[in-house]
Each structure stands twice: as C-alpha cells, then as structure tokens.
Amino acid sequence: MSQLTFLEGGDQGTSPVRRQYLDIKRRYPDSLLFFRLGDFYETFDDDARVVSAELDIVLTGREMGKGERIPLAGIPYHAAEGYIARLIARGHKIAVCEQLGAPVKGIMPREVVRVITPGTLIEDSLLSPRANNFLASLITSEDGAGLALVDISTGDFVATEVVGEGWQARMASELERVSPAESLLPQSQANGSAGSGLLPQGSFTTRRDDSQFSQAACERMVKEQFRVAALDGLGLAGAPLALRAAGSLLSYIRETRPAALGQLDGFHTYSLDGFMQMDAAARRHLELTSNGATGMVEGSLLWVLERTRTPMGGRLLRRRIGQPLLDVAAIDDRLDVVQELVDHPSARGALGDALSRAGDLERLASRAAQQVLTPRECLGIARALELVPDVQATLQGLPVILGQEGNNLDPCAEVLESINATIPDSPAAQPGDGVIREGRSQELDELRALSGDTRQWIAGLERSEKERTGVRSLKIGYNRVFGYYFEVSRPALDALTDEFARQKTGANNVGEMLESMGYQRKQTIANGERFITAQLKDQEMRLQSAQEEIQALERQLFAELLAEVAASAARLRRTAQSLARLDLVNTLAEVAVANRYVRPVVDTSTGLVLRDCRHPVVERMMPAGEFVPNDCDLSGSDAQIVILTGPNMAGKSTYLLGVALTVLMAQMGSFVPASEARVGIVDRIFTRVGAQHDVTSGKSTFLVEMAETASVLRNATPRSLVILDEIGRGTSTYDGMAIARAVIEQLHDEARLRPRTLFATHFHELAELEGSLERVRNQRMDVLEEGTQVVFLHRVVAGGADRSYGIHVAQLAGVPAPVVRRAREILLALETNGGSGVPAASRDQSTPGGPGQDVLDELLAMDLSTTTPMQAITTLHRLQERLRKGA
C-alpha cells in the first residue's frame, strides 16, 4: 500500500489523515513536524521544502485535486536520528509525531511525543561530548539582565544577573562565553530589542509568552521545583532577574522534557564579578576554544590543554578556560593540586589510566535521573564506579588533592552492586530479549528454564515424530503467522502406505495416515504440506506464555533497577563531577610537564613579570625548540606601557597574545609557558586589533576598531591588561599615528585607567613617546640586516625601531625586484625631502618633475647663510601660495 493514499482527496478534497496532520501541525507552528506514516517520517508543505533543502533529499509532491499540489519529503524512521541531528545543527526544532495504538475508524491515532530543540537534547548522537549544551533564558529590564543556564544532558543549572553601568556589554560577553544552543526570550523582547541584541550573532532563539517570565509565576515555579518556602537558600532572594530567568527556564523544560526536572537540584547562582572579564572580541582574538581562521579546536588554547581522559573533564576544561578567577587564594588552591600531580609522575599515570575507563559518567548520571538508561549504559555506570576505589587508592598518596576531593568521591557501592547483580555482561538492547542476569530472580530463571525446556522439547519432537510416523522427510519449522508446524514433502505425502499401516488406520497414503494420527493440514506449499498437532500447539502456547512472562518480568526488574539508580543519580553526579575535576588537574599537570610550563606566582600587585614566555599555541605548532621565548617586565608602578615596534611578520602579535594567554592560564589555575612568572591579578583582558577584516558585519572596519578602542578607554582599570595591536592602522598614516598617540597618552595619564598595556605598532615614530611619558617603555623586535635583506629574530629587545622595514617585507613576500628597487628610491626621497619631490620613475626621466618641482628647485637654490628671517618667511609664503594654486 502506498504511503500516500491518504493524500488522495476525500470529501472536500481533504482526507481524514490530511485533516489529522493539519490539526497537529497547527499546534506546532514553529517546529518541523515529523509525521509518522508506517516506516517513514513524512513532512509536508513548507516543512517538506525546508527538509528537502537542508538534507538534500528529494522533494516529491502529490496532486490534491483543484490543482493543489502538496510538497512532501520523507525519511525512513530507522535513519531518523542522523537527519534530526543535521536539522538541529541548522537551527530547526522538530516535533516527532508517532502512531499510537490501533486504528480508530480506519485512522491511526497520532500524537507528538516530544519536541526536539537544540537546547533540550540528551541523545549522545546529537551532542558534542566535549562541550556543554546550554539552554538559556534571558530577561532584561531597564538597568540589568538575568540569565539562567541549564544543560539537561548533565544536570548543570545556574543563574546570574548583571545590573548597573555597562550591564549590556557584560551580559553580551557572558553569552558569548556560554554560546547557548538555544535561548528563551520574552515575546516582547525577541525582535531586535534589548534581549536579542545581547545574544551572539546567529543564536537560536525561542520566543515565549511574556507571562512565562512574570515574577509571580517564576517564583511559584522555582519554589515548587526546589520544594522551598523561601528563595534565600537558592541565592535568588535579592535577584529578581535571575529568578525570572530560572523560573521561565523551568516552565519550558516542563513542557519539552519534564523528565529532566528531577535532576536539577544542584542549582546555584553565580556572579560575573568572581571571574576575569573578557568581551566577545577578546575571547575570539585570544582563540581560547577555537582557531580564528578555521573555527576548529585545533590551533586554540583548548587544543593545547586538551588531554582530558573523560568527556566531562573536557567540558570542565572548556568552562575553566572561559572563566579565569580573580581570587588569589582560590587560584593558589588550584595550583597546589596541579603542583602535587606534577611532583608525582606515577600518581599522574595511575590517575590517567583509571580515568580513561570512566566514560561520560556525568551524562549517564543525567540519563539515570531521567530513567532513560539503556542496559548497556547501566554497565557504563558500573564500569565507571568500579574505578573509583583505584582512584581513591591513588589519592591516598596525595594529601592535597585527597583533602579537596576525598569526600566527593562516592563509589556508590549499592548502585554498582545492583547493576552488576542485574545486568549481564553482554545485555540485549531491549528488556525481554535478555537484559537480566541469571541468578537475579528465581522466578525468571525458572521461566527461562521452562521456555528452554519447551524449546528443546519441540526440537526433540522432530526425531520422535519421525520415528512414530515413519516419515523420514518430516521436519519442524516456524513462522510468524502459524507458529510451529510440521512440514512434509509432496512425494512423501503421496507415498502409498504399507499393508500394516493400511490395516491399522485405513489410510491409503502417508498424508491420510498422518491425518488419522492427529495431524491437521494447515497450509499447502509448493512442494508439500504443513501440519500442526494439538500436542505441538499446546507446547507452543506454554512457550509463548513463558516468553511473555519473561518479557514482563525483565521489564519489571529493569524498571526497578532504573528507579533504584535514579534514586542515586545525585550521588552519581557528584562522583562524576569529582572525577571531572581530577581529570582536569591531571591534564593540566601532564601538559605542564610535557611543555615545560612553570607554576606562576599570582599576587595582588599590578606587576607582570615573565621570563622566557612563549605563545602556548604557536609554540606547539612549531618544531620543538624553534619558538623564541621572550621576557615581559611590567612592574606596573614604573613600567606600565610597552610600545613594541618592529616590521610586519617580526612576531609582535604573537608576543602580545602569548603574554595575555599566560596571564589567563595563570588565573585559571594552570602552569604557564614561561621559565618564571609573576602575575598581579588581572581583572579584565582587553585585546584590540587594528583594521581586522570584518566583512560579515558590514560595518567599516575602522569604525569597529575605534568603537572597540573607545570601550577600552571607558572600561579599563588599573588592574586590567590591555593588548593593542596596530591600533590606527585602518586609516591614513598621520591620522592613525595621531589616534594611537592620543590613546596611549590617555591610558598613561588618566588615573582611573593606567592599565598594564602592550602596544604593538609598525609606526616606529611612536617610540618617541618614551621620552615624554614616564611609564612608557620602548621595545622592538630584533631584526638582522644583511645588505638589503632582513632576518627576523623574533626577539624582543629594548629600544624603538628606527624604521618600518616595509620594503624588506615586500621583498620577502616576493614582490618583483624592479618594484622593490623603485620603492627604495621613493622611500629615500620621502625621507630626505620630507614628503615631496619624489623622483620620477626612471622610464620617464626625460619629462620634467611633477607639480611643485619648480618650488623645490627654488627652495634648494636659496642660500640660507644670507637670508634674514623676514626674507625666509616671505619666500615661504610665496612658495606656499604657488603650491596652493597648483603650480
């Protein structure tokens, strides 16, 4: 039967199934409706157009009478997960509509069983193992915003609010850090207004009715969820925006994935004030979790540090990179732990080995809470719990870590025992097919024995019936329609019975004889006949009922296990998080040893002193030993600003970013790529890059550059670290230099600012500033000149560059020799004549010089030793006039 019969016009040109479809679709207008029809999920109308375009599958259609044609695109249900993953990744929501029960009046009842949205995924195949999948709710007011985040695949649930000056920028950078998979916004704020404007470009948003965000509704929701009478314990008492964000999130989960609500009791509020601030531009520029050019993890800081053995450790690492701390004591605590593992290589190895068997216990704990574990996943939990004692044994030798993690490492022995006692070593996928271990239930074992016996008895029947009937070709078979049967071939049936048998049964041939012995004909096949007997059917029924009982019992026992594991889900989660932290510190220790990082000294000074600092990513991408390390000496009080001059490609940007990343690593509690490091806490890293190519935003790059620079001048503090890379490059030379200079002066003089600043520029003229500004230090990239060639040493040395080496770089880049020669000629003229009188190109040397040549000739002809000041002024005036008239 065709899948499409329902589309043939019925009354009024619309069939009942088409009406059913339209009814359901009306309730899910903003989702793609996957409508189950037999073995397919079909999509229709606009949904079909979208699905066909996104998945590159054929769009078919169907005439609907009256010239109406319904577009249709279908995917086989067994392959649906992959297609769904792709649609979700492209930002679609999917409502999955299944057939439920038996047909009513010839039509299958159908209902949407779940709505899959990017923020409510729990399927492993749809999730990235090493990143959280956050669903956010964002609410803004006149002077602040509240944000709640939940990852229902792990149970993480947090909320924060930002109020007061600069709240928009701070919330925007927090959202950039989190990069939610889906964000809920009040309907009234959804369109380009405050709320949606804060989200990163291309964010997936879901509009919700404003009433979902009301203070009263949210308070009720939150109190109900956490079974509390007051909000204080949750940290939400004085935080109405955070409360509204959290409450609205809960009501959305209640609609889309109610089973996920039970695991959210780890909720807490957090404050952005506890973490180093970085705006969106800085996060991208520092390439913390993805490489700017490729968008991949490879080539980012995360890539260098990513040696975690577990997915949950990987996710934690990613979060830590995004949230460096500000509190010296907390940072030291983290560093102590890393130090301990650096000092104990064998413990490091043992921990790494144990953790590599842990799997994703955190997501399993979340699935446990939602009671959606498969039998195999239960074993995954058991395997993870089994290694906890090994980890504990390792920690015995490590007093610092044991002190911090000892209590959290709960081996959940009863859970482990229950799983091991219930699930066999290689379980079937479904309850009923063998997911309960022998010995778990006497009743089950007996039923299995019975069904086994019966099966065997039936198998044995073939032999005994052959003997009893004397029919050697008799066979026992099975099919889904008839169950068990005897099969006898046509020639054997037609064979005549012998004298004795005929006497006894009156049968002339074997077929008749079998009937006289109780065989009932059931089916005629091409080459024989199928029979059943009462005895065979009787045994078959025993087998069937035993199997049904087995299935029911396995279901029940498995459900009991799931309930038991669910009851311990919170403990499993704590263990998982503890393993994640151990994984993280173990990783940081391994990376520190492998890359020769040192423990930084972090204090509350405004100093920044680094010896042999390297850019952690660039270093790793080069052959070992080729990266040239450099120092940084910012004491804060006497050296505040470094002006780093040097030609393009000399290594300025690399140096700046290396210093910034070292600071960030220190404050996240990692060892750093240097031989010695003292870092006075940095409250905020600003990075600004001149004239980046920002084609996507459509804004003038120079405008962007200046807007970003303005925000540094407004927001930096004496604790900040400011990285300015080629600011002013996006406009003409003098403009650019003027702006750069004014910015430096302001950062230097304004008491409110005075951040530690590294300013890289190829304007070598800016080195003059060292003379006039007290806390400015000149440094330059060392360059070796050999004739007209230059070699970049990538070494930072004291002093300013005396020129830009642009032509050398042009030469290095392969600009043809005549052009390079000519450029040198022009440069020389510019430098000696101060900007005019460039000699004409050699090929047209016969033509007189351009406009102003006569003015220059006259200037050169003046004898200054005999000219009075008055004469000089008059001459200059006359020459100027001539130039203005365009001589």
Nearer to Mg ion (CB atom), residue 130 or residue 729? 729
837 contacts 849 by C-beta, under 8 angstroms: yes
Q: In angstroms, what is the minimal distance from the CB of 615 to ligand ADP?
A: 7
Q: In angstroms, what is the minimal distance from the CB of 725 to Mg ion?
A: 6
Q: In angstroms, what is the minimal distance from the CB of 652 to Mg ion?
A: 5
Q: In angstroms, what is the minimal distance from the CB of 654 to Mg ion?
A: 8
Nearer to ligand ADP (CB atom), residue 68 or residue 626? 626
Nearer to ligand ADP (CB atom), residue 342 or residue 740? 740
Count of positions on this chain that bind ligand ADP (CB under 6 A): 13
Q: Which stretch binds ligand ADP (CB under 6 A): 144-152, 520-528, 646-654, 850-858?
A: 646-654
- Told to check if 648 binds ligand ADP by CB under 6 A, we report yes
**Binding partner selected for residue 654 from Mg ion, ligand ADP, none, CB under the kind-specific 5 to 8 Å limit:** ligand ADP
Q: In angstroms, what is the minimal distance from the CB of 601 to ligand ADP?
A: 23
Nearer to ligand ADP (CB atom), residue 43 or residue 653? 653
Nearer to Mg ion (CB atom), residue 586 or residue 645? 645
- DSSP string covering 712-747: HHHH--TT-EEEEESTTTTS-HHHHHHHHHHHHHHH
**Binding partner selected for residue 44 from ligand ADP, Mg ion, none, CB under the kind-specific 5 to 8 Å limit:** none
CA gap 97, 43 in Å, rounded: 11
Using a 10 angstrom Cβ sphere, with 0-12 exposed, 13-18 middle and 19 or more buried, the burial of residue 182 is buried
Nearer to ligand ADP (CB atom), residue 159 or residue 613? 613
**Residue that the structure tokens 């091409």 belong to:** 526
Ranges of H-type helices in 695-816: 701-715, 733-749, 769-772, 806-812
CA gap 561, 441 in Å, rounded: 13
Nearer to ligand ADP (CB atom), residue 249 or residue 723? 723
Q: Identify residues 379-418 at the interface with ligand ADP (CB under 6 A).
A: none
Q: In angstroms, what is the minimal distance from the CB of 650 to ligand ADP?
A: 4
CA gap 616, 303 in Å, rounded: 10
Nearer to Mg ion (CB atom), residue 493 or residue 657? 657
**Residue that the structure tokens 């995924």 belong to:** 121
- H/E element holding 89? helix 80-89
Nearer to ligand ADP (CB atom), residue 318 or residue 614? 614
Q: In angstroms, what is the minimal distance from the CB of 124 to ligand ADP?
A: 38
- Told to check if 653 binds Mg ion by CB under 5 A, we report yes
Nearer to Mg ion (CB atom), residue 578 or residue 653? 653
Using a 10 angstrom Cβ sphere, with 0-12 exposed, 13-18 middle and 19 or more buried, the burial of residue 202 is exposed
**Binding partner selected for residue 722 from Mg ion, ligand ADP, none, CB under the kind-specific 5 to 8 Å limit:** none
Nearer to ligand ADP (CB atom), residue 290 or residue 654? 654
Q: 779 CB contacts (<8 Å, ≥6 apart)? A: 642, 643, 644, 645, 796, 797, 798, 799, 800
Query: By beta-carbon distance, which residue lies closest to ligand ADP?
Result: 651
CA gap 149, 417 in Å, rounded: 34
Q: Which stretch binds Mg ion (CB under 5 A): 15-23, 405-413, 558-566, 645-653?
A: 645-653
Nearer to ligand ADP (CB atom), residue 599 or residue 652? 652
Task: Provide the mask over 748-787, with x wherever binding to ligand ADP is found by CB under 6 A and - wherever it is not.
Answer: ----------------------------------------
**Binding partner selected for residue 650 from Mg ion, ligand ADP, none, CB under the kind-specific 5 to 8 Å limit:** ligand ADP
Query: By beta-carbon distance, which residue lies closest to Mg ion?
Result: 653
Structure-token pair, residue 350 = 């043992």
CA gap 825, 840 in Å, rounded: 10
Q: Identify residues 575-634 at the interface with ligand ADP (CB under 6 A).
A: 618, 626-628
**Binding partner selected for residue 627 from ligand ADP, Mg ion, none, CB under the kind-specific 5 to 8 Å limit:** ligand ADP
Rounded alpha-carbon distances, angstroms, from residue 811 to 198, 841, 863: 45, 19, 40
Instruction: State the Rg of the chain over Cα.
Output: 39
User: Does residue 236 sit in helix, strand or coil?
Assistant: coil
9 contacts 15 by C-beta, under 8 angstroms: yes
Q: Which stretch binds Mg ion (CB under 5 A): 2-10, 460-468, 504-512, 648-656?
A: 648-656
- Told to check if 728 binds ligand ADP by CB under 6 A, we report no
**Binding partner selected for residue 628 from Mg ion, ligand ADP, none, CB under the kind-specific 5 to 8 Å limit:** ligand ADP
Phi-psi region of 588 (alpha: psi -120 to 50; beta: other; left: phi over 0): alpha
Sheet strands side by side (includes 205-208): 205-208, 182-186, 135-141, 144-151, 156-163, 268-269
Q: Which stretch binds Mg ion (CB under 5 A): 96-104, 235-243, 647-655, 713-721?
A: 647-655
**Residue that the structure tokens 């130039």 belong to:** 883
- Told to check if 649 binds ligand ADP by CB under 6 A, we report yes
Nearer to ligand ADP (CB atom), residue 621 or residue 876? 621
Q: Identify residues 650-709 at the interface with ligand ADP (CB under 6 A).
A: 650-654
Q: In angstroms, what is the minimal distance from the CB of 813 to ligand ADP?
A: 12
Count of positions on this chain that bind Mg ion (CB under 5 A): 1
CA gap 873, 738 in Å, rounded: 28
- Told to check if 577 binds Mg ion by CB under 5 A, we report no
Half-sphere exposure of 328 (CA within 13 A, CB side): 11
Rounded alpha-carbon distances, angstroms, from residue 127 to 59, 88, 124, 153, 316: 28, 10, 5, 9, 16
Q: In angstroms, what is the minimal distance from the CB of 245 to ligand ADP?
A: 41
Q: In angstroms, what is the minimal distance from the CB of 645 to ligand ADP?
A: 10
Nearer to Mg ion (CB atom), residue 591 or residue 796? 796
Nearer to ligand ADP (CB atom), residue 139 or residue 618? 618
Q: In angstroms, what is the minimal distance from the CB of 654 to ligand ADP?
A: 3
Q: Which stretch binds Mg ion (CB under 5 A): 110-118, 543-551, 591-599, 653-661?
A: 653-661
**Binding partner selected for residue 794 from ligand ADP, Mg ion, none, CB under the kind-specific 5 to 8 Å limit:** ligand ADP
CA gap 287, 295 in Å, rounded: 9
Q: Which residues pair with 687 in a beta bridge?
A: 723
**Binding partner selected for residue 183 from ligand ADP, Mg ion, none, CB under the kind-specific 5 to 8 Å limit:** none
**Binding partner selected for residue 649 from Mg ion, ligand ADP, none, CB under the kind-specific 5 to 8 Å limit:** ligand ADP
CA gap 75, 574 in Å, rounded: 40
Nearer to Mg ion (CB atom), residue 263 or residue 653? 653
CA gap 559, 556 in Å, rounded: 5
Please count the other Cβ atoms lying within 10 Å of the Cβ belonging to residue 739.
19
Q: In angstroms, what is the minimal distance from the CB of 591 to Mg ion?
A: 26
329 contacts 336 by C-beta, under 8 angstroms: no
Q: 427 CB contacts (<8 Å, ≥6 apart)? A: 375, 376, 378, 379, 434, 435
Of residues 145, 227, 159, 154, the one with CA closest to residue 189:
145
CA gap 852, 313 in Å, rounded: 70
Nearer to Mg ion (CB atom), residue 135 or residue 740? 740
Q: 257 CB contacts (<8 Å, ≥6 apart)? A: 114, 120, 122, 152, 370
Q: Which stretch binds ligand ADP (CB under 6 A): 172-180, 253-261, 649-657, 746-754?
A: 649-657
Q: 350 CB contacts (<8 Å, ≥6 apart)? A: 390, 394
Of residues 779, 725, 777, 722, the one with CA closest to residue 606:
722
**Binding partner selected for residue 85 from Mg ion, ligand ADP, none, CB under the kind-specific 5 to 8 Å limit:** none
Contact residues for Mg ion, defined by CB under 5 A: 653
Contact residues for ligand ADP, defined by CB under 6 A: 618, 626-628, 646, 648-654, 794
